[in-house]
Structure 1
Amino acid sequence: MAQLGLVVPDELAGFSIDEMVTIAQRAEQRGYHSIWKGETSGTNSFMVLGAIARETEDIRLGTGIANVFSRSPTLLGMSGATLNALSDGRAILGLGVSSPPIVEEWHGQAYERPLRRAREAIEIIRQVLDGDTVEYDGEMFDVGPYSVGFETPSGEVPIFNAAMGERNRQLTGEFADGWMPVFTPLSELGGFATEITSAAADAGRPEPTIAPWVPAAVAEDPSVAKRRVKELLAQEMAMGYNRILATHGYGDSADEAHNRWHDGDREGATDAITDEVVEEFAVYGTPETCREQLAPYYEAGADLPILWPPFTASRGAVEELIDGFAPE
């Protein structure tokens, strides 16, 4: 059966923690592989996933993403190990370098050498998860020797990296267990996946899991579903992801959406998202047709597409999405 993940809508979309737990339970019942909790602001992803862990049995629980600046590598490892213990071995540690606005303005950290920091963080986290003594002398971190303090190793916790740039994708293949990109065009996904698996092979590592985030919506009227993903894309362009789309050749649409959103014209920003952008970066459809929209992702090498509901989606719309895309 094809694997599928879901980004749980959180307080930024108006959902309480109790509602997040209920959404995760529904996803588990419908056969989803994993649930992912974001953390740009709002609630703490590890704590919310810990609450979900106590109310579910099988679904995997991933941070999507925990950035490598706001917590030390040792704390990231401790948090991942704790979540893994709470969930009986279901944790996935989704990491990323985030962006200067979040790191500098929200966390008050200097956004320095992000890729080197990510590499060293992953190496330290692996030592922590081994449950013995951490000792590391790097360019960014000098840690230990210090005892982790676990009575027994926490068990394997996969580490996914939310890489977008070429050098970061290389890092993913060499050091991570999975690649979790955001805003990678479908037409380029296969080539990037091949790059990463080749880097892993060169490093003597297993093939990483390819797990792209995919904006998604379901509605009886396909035009309504398309509008929902355009709204999500427009909002994310306003958050600065227009720069990422520009590197893939979609800068005109992305920049227009960014500028209109910041001018207060959210309808105009949504209108600026072209159908071509939607087809490359999102999936949508009716309950009868939406599942087939994922086939090209699996064909391009995705192992675990992660569906990303629009921020404007109601509880009913999210449930419709879960049911419509549910693995058969």
Structure 2
Amino acid sequence: MTQNWGMTIPFHDRSLAESKELIAQLPALGYTDAWSAEVNGADGFTPLAMASEWAPELRLGSAIVPVYTRGPGLLAMSAATLADLAPGRFVLGIGASSPVVVGRWNAAGFAQPYQRTRDTLRFLRRALAGEKVSERYETFEVKGFKLERAPKVAPKIVLAALRPQMLHLAASEGDGAITNWLSPQDVRKVRAELGGETELIARLFVCVSEDAEKVRELGRWMLAAYLTVPAYAAFHDWLGRGEVLRPMHEAWAAGDRAAALKAIPDEVVDDLIVYGDAATCRARIGEYIASGLDTPVLAPIPGGAGITEAVRALAPPR
């Protein structure tokens, strides 16, 4: 069994301040990691800063912070701050995010996502090592940036990676790859591209509930919201779901949301969302690990057990 077992923080049913008690319990429950996200809730760094004090045993990671919504220097400063708070325990996860998050919500351009991620990774390597960076990259230029206080232990940097080009970059220049919305069988294909030595991290959406119809109803909403994003549509084309998801994409493009939801087959929901009683969920997570996943990062979703109950029920087997 993998040595890593992560939980997404903060929790969807409470504020960051209200998450303190449960985050503090994670190490005793057997969790090794806490990972944040950054979409339109909490930012990607503050929950980890607080968790570094509330649960100092945990490895902390961002999955992910976008490379467009902060300038390169600010991203380096934020990462250096976390690395100082949790030396050797912070993993910086970066990625392109999506046109909605970057363009519509943050008024930034979304161009050349692979190149921008690559360039940001290369800049961060140098900046977090304490170098003074003056460099013209393909997607931006930095002139004379140097951290006032570089971290004593530079953080590992992992990349959001869905398809071969980014997976290869994560393996060759990064310290790991982050993915999500995939089945245990899909992990094998991702692992084949990534190689066997690079850490593979995935957020797994979990519902501790035996009410299949209720879970599938919620799951269809979540899947439609994600899999219509171009990067995820291309990811699932590559994974082999292009034809089965075509009716959903056509209905969504036509503006018929109800038809799009209805077009998602049960088996796709069952492939991509972990649900059932706690034992069934843990066994399913075990399938991901057996397929090559190093770090499952659990994200309990509404519709089943309450968050506190779910976090305790989903703790790793001992």
TM-score normalised by structure 1 residue count: 0.83
1:162: Cα distance to partner? 0.8
The SS at the match of 1:45 is: coil
The worse-fitting range, judged by mean Cα deviation, of 317-326 and 298-307 is: 317-326
Check conservation: 1:81, 1:154, Cα contact below 8 A. Answer: no
1:203 is matched with none
Alpha-carbon spacing, 1:95–1:234, altered in 2? closer, same or farther (3 Å)? same
2:313 is matched with 324
2:208 is matched with 218
The SS at the match of 2:306 is: helix
The separation in 2 between residues aligned to 1:290 and 1:64, in whole angstroms, is 22
Q: Deviations over 1:227-281 (max 9, x none)?
A: 554553344346664554344343466565675796564xx76654423213432
1:119: Cα distance to partner? 0.8
Q: Deviations over 1:41-75 (max 9, x none)?
A: 23322122212222222112211210000112222
Check conservation: 1:34, 1:61, Cα contact below 8 A. Answer: yes
Aligned ranges 1:71-220 → 2 under 5 Å: 71-150=70-149, 153-197=151-195, 207-219=197-209
1:88: Cα distance to partner? 4.1
The separation in 2 between residues aligned to 1:127 and 1:69, in whole angstroms, is 18
Alpha-carbon spacing, 1:242–1:20, altered in 2? closer, same or farther (3 Å)? farther
Alignment counterpart, residue 226 of structure 2, candidates 231, 236, 244: 236
1:300: Cα distance to partner? 1.4
Check conservation: 1:7, 1:308, Cα contact below 8 A. Answer: yes
The separation in 2 between residues aligned to 1:275 and 1:29, in whole angstroms, is 36
1:60 is matched with 59
1:300 and 2:291 aligned: yes
Q: Deviations over 1:129-151 (max 9, x none)?
A: 2124234332223324333211x
Check conservation: 1:78, 1:128, Cα contact below 8 A. Answer: no
1:15 is matched with 14
Check conservation: 1:222, 1:286, Cα contact below 8 A. Answer: no
The SS at the match of 1:212 is: strand
The separation in 2 between residues aligned to 1:221 and 1:29, in whole angstroms, is 30
Alpha-carbon spacing, 1:102–1:153, altered in 2? closer, same or farther (3 Å)? closer
The SS at the match of 2:271 is: helix
The separation in 2 between residues aligned to 1:271 and 1:27, in whole angstroms, is 37
* One-letter amino acid of the structure 2 residue matched with residue 209 of structure 1: E
1:214: Cα distance to partner? 1.6
- Which ranges of structure 1 fall in alignment gaps of 5 or more residues? 199-206
* One-letter amino acid of the structure 1 residue matched with residue 315 of structure 2: A
1:313: Cα distance to partner? 4.9
Alpha-carbon spacing, 1:9–1:237, altered in 2? closer, same or farther (3 Å)? farther
The SS at the match of 2:195 is: helix
1:222: Cα distance to partner? 5.9
1:245 and 2:220 aligned: no
1:209: Cα distance to partner? 0.8
* One-letter amino acid of the structure 2 residue matched with residue 320 of structure 1: E
The SS at the match of 2:287 is: helix
Alpha-carbon spacing, 1:79–1:167, altered in 2? closer, same or farther (3 Å)? same
Q: Deviations over 1:70-92 (max 9, x none)?
A: 11222212111101222344211
The separation in 2 between residues aligned to 1:46 and 1:134, in whole angstroms, is 23
Aligned length in residues: 313
The worse-fitting range, judged by mean Cα deviation, of 247-256 and 209-218 is: 247-256
Aligned ranges 1:257-272 → 2 under 5 Å: 259=251, 263=256, 265=258, 272=263
TM-score normalised by structure 2 residue count: 0.85
The separation in 2 between residues aligned to 1:128 and 1:293, in whole angstroms, is 40
RMSD between aligned residues: 2.8
The worse-fitting range, judged by mean Cα deviation, of 172-181 and 240-249 is: 240-249
The separation in 2 between residues aligned to 1:84 and 1:110, in whole angstroms, is 28
Identity %: 28
Alpha-carbon spacing, 1:21–1:183, altered in 2? closer, same or farther (3 Å)? same
The separation in 2 between residues aligned to 1:109 and 1:283, in whole angstroms, is 34
The worse-fitting range, judged by mean Cα deviation, of 236-245 and 186-195 is: 236-245
Alpha-carbon spacing, 1:22–1:271, altered in 2? closer, same or farther (3 Å)? farther
The separation in 2 between residues aligned to 1:101 and 1:158, in whole angstroms, is 27
The separation in 1 between residues aligned to 2:289 and 2:86, in whole angstroms, is 28
